[in-house]
Amino acid sequence: MLEDYAKNRIDSKKPRKEGRTYIIDKLQGLDEKNFEAISSFVDVVKIYGVLPLILSESVLQKKIKFYQDLGVKVSTGSTISEYMVAENAFDKFVSAASKVGFDVIEIGENAIDLTFEQKRKVTETILAKNLDFQWKVGKKDPRHQLSIDATIAKVDEAVKLGADKVLLEANEGVSVGIYDEKGAVRWNFVGALTTKFPPNTFVFEAPLEHQQSALIAEFGQRANLAEIHIDAVSSIESQRRGFPSKASFGITYMRKEPEGGPGAKFVYFVIKTKNPIDQVEVMEMTRLPRRTVQSAIEELKSQGLIIERSSLDDARKKVYSPVQSLWL
């Protein structure tokens, strides 16, 4: 009905490479007819937590078949995978997951730490059963979060292992990963990631509506979103097609031009013009006091406009470059 008035999807047919939507099945009430209507908008459903261990095999198979018949892939969660690794039963778990019909095994390091060789073995075990793997990066506990550099290093390992996409942990969406204590997106964190890797590398867990709107506003319909409640699927698809939701009107996203005083704008202009550049060079070029330059740099970092890295010439020195998202 009136399809010509809705923006077409760039990647409309599954399996999609971009613009994926991952939902989560917590045994919530499911209206099968309504889900059938929106199933073309859903790429993957994750069976939550340790449900695959406590549901009967027949119930689990029936649930998986329902989704697959509608063209939706079915994944385990990382919690059960980590548990089975800790129990030295991962091979048996993967065999059982393959038997009941899972398409994807999700694996992370929330409660365990794996070496690169252990990750390689885990990946090979999954592939040997003709299943796909999905690495998740991040910690659920707000008190034990990965730094930006540590996150980048783990994403890099996942990519080297052949990961098609890398999930970013969000837990409840507050004080975890790319989200601050109020659930707002930490754009300097996102900017650091998307400067190092193409944005379509990531699947952003975004359990809160304003997070979904912010990420779509920033990256457009090609943003990959996970941890989505089934009730939010139609809203997300509408936003991908160019129709704003009520949450869209209150979002802030990565700006192409800086906000703030003239000092911050001047420093940003210098960093854009000559980069990478350190603080001393910025001071020399702008003739601004050290405190003003430091304050401007912190403001630009918080707005997600510049990224800080160690100098290749001197690891003790920090240099700055503008964030250049490939999707802007």
pLDDT of 160-199, one tens digit each? 999 999 999 999 999 999 999 989 899 889 988 988 899 9
| DSSP for residue 20 | -
Is 3-250's fold the same as 262-322's?
A: no
Handedness of CA 234, 240, 243, 246 (dihedral sign): positive
- Give yes or no for a cis peptide into 276 (omega within 30° of 0): yes
What are the residue boundaries of the structural domains of the chain, listed by start?
A: 3-250, 262-322
Tokens in use for 188?
Answer: 């300097």
CA distances from 106 to 16, 81, 207 (A): 18, 7, 18
Our CA angle for 193, 199, 203, nearest 5°, is 90
Q: Which range, of 29-33, 98-102, 116-120, 199-203, averages the lowest pLDDT?
A: 29-33
- Domain 3-250 sits in which CATH superfamily? Aldolase class I (3.20.20.70)
pLDDT in tens, 249-295: 555 444 556 777 888 889 998 998 888 899 999 999 989 999 999 99
The CATH number of the structural domain formed by 262-322 is 1.10.10.10
Decide if 298 contacts 282 (C-beta within 8 A). Answer: no
Backbone dihedral angles phi then psi of residue 146, each to the nearest 5 degrees: -75, 145
Place of tokens 């969660």: 77
